[in-house]
Amino acid sequence: MLVPHSSIAMEEVIPISNKIYSNRLLLRKLEGNDLQVLLHWSSSADAYGDFLSPEFFEKEDIEQKYASGFFWNYGEKFFLIEKKDGQAIGTLHYWIPVDKTDTAVTAVKIAEPAERNKGYGTEAQKSLIIYLFEKVKIKFVEMYTDLDNLAQHRCLQKLGFSMIETLTYDDRGISRTGNLFRINNSQFSHHPIYRYHYE
């Protein structure tokens, strides 16, 4: 993940969907049998590309995180991104910062290089944004991106985000310069891309 964050235990139970469907994709809650692919991606340079840093999970560590609810709790949720044929191609997750409880911060990773530049990242993020505004009733969605990740910048602009500021952050010991993008619930409500969920 790109910036330090902490999750909160929400005071009210938010209706949670374990699965989010889009035209070509299924976003679903991580299950125990997904840990092996997550473990593989965590140490794969190909999975992270030029703009993310590998997590280098250990088997015992990732199993403990899964058992403790790290990947799925009231303040933070990891979704596996699957194509309709069942192929896992990446992850998408969001968390609620402890100091901004009306905001969800998101991070996406298309981990299979052959599946990049096909619109899957945009489609997955659009589906999650709809879910966050319509079901979780969040007021803002934010994403941090590397300054050189121009494809993601274009994606976020297409999805109605505004660029808020440029800042330097630490990403697993690597100093990166990036942009903070944000969309609010009014922008979401009026942006034509969200008029139809599957356009």
Single-letter residue type at 115: E
Q: Enter the DSSP assignment of 135.
A: T
Residue 173 pLDDT: 79
Q: Name the least confident of 7-11, 40-44, 85-89, 175-179.
A: 7-11
Average pLDDT over residues 40-64: 94
Q: Are 105 and 3 in contact (CB under 8 A)?
A: yes
Residue 21 pLDDT: 94
Q: Are 172 and 129 in contact (CB under 8 A)?
A: no
Provide the pairing of β-strand 140-146 with 25-29: unpaired
Nearest partner of 77 among 16, 124, 153, 5, judged by Cα: 16
CB neighbours (10 Å) of residue 22? Answer: 19
Q: Are 172 and 142 in contact (CB under 8 A)?
A: no
All domains in the chain, ordered by first residue: 19-194 (3.40.630.30)
Residue 184's H or E segment, with its range, is strand 174-184
Average pLDDT over residues 120-142: 96
Nearest partner of 174 among 50, 46, 34, judged by Cα: 50
With the CA atoms of 190, 191, 196 and 197 taken in that order, what torsion angle do they form, in degrees rounded to the nearest 10? -110
How high does pLDDT run on average in the chain? 90
Residue 4 pLDDT: 40
pLDDT band at 108 (very low <50, low <70, confident <90, very high): very high
pLDDT tens digit sequence for 59-107: 999 999 999 999 999 999 999 999 999 999 999 999 999 999 999 999 9
pTM above 0.75, yes or no: yes
111 versus 13: the higher-pLDDT residue is: 111
Residue 15 pLDDT: 46
What 3 state SS string does 33-96 have? HHHHHHHHHHCCHHHHCCCCCCCCCCHHHHHHHHHHCCCEECCEEEEEEEECCCCEEEEEEEEC
Q: How many CA atoms lie within 13 A of 198 on its CB side?
A: 7
CB neighbours (10 Å) of residue 112? Answer: 19
pLDDT tens digit sequence for 183-193: 999 999 999 99
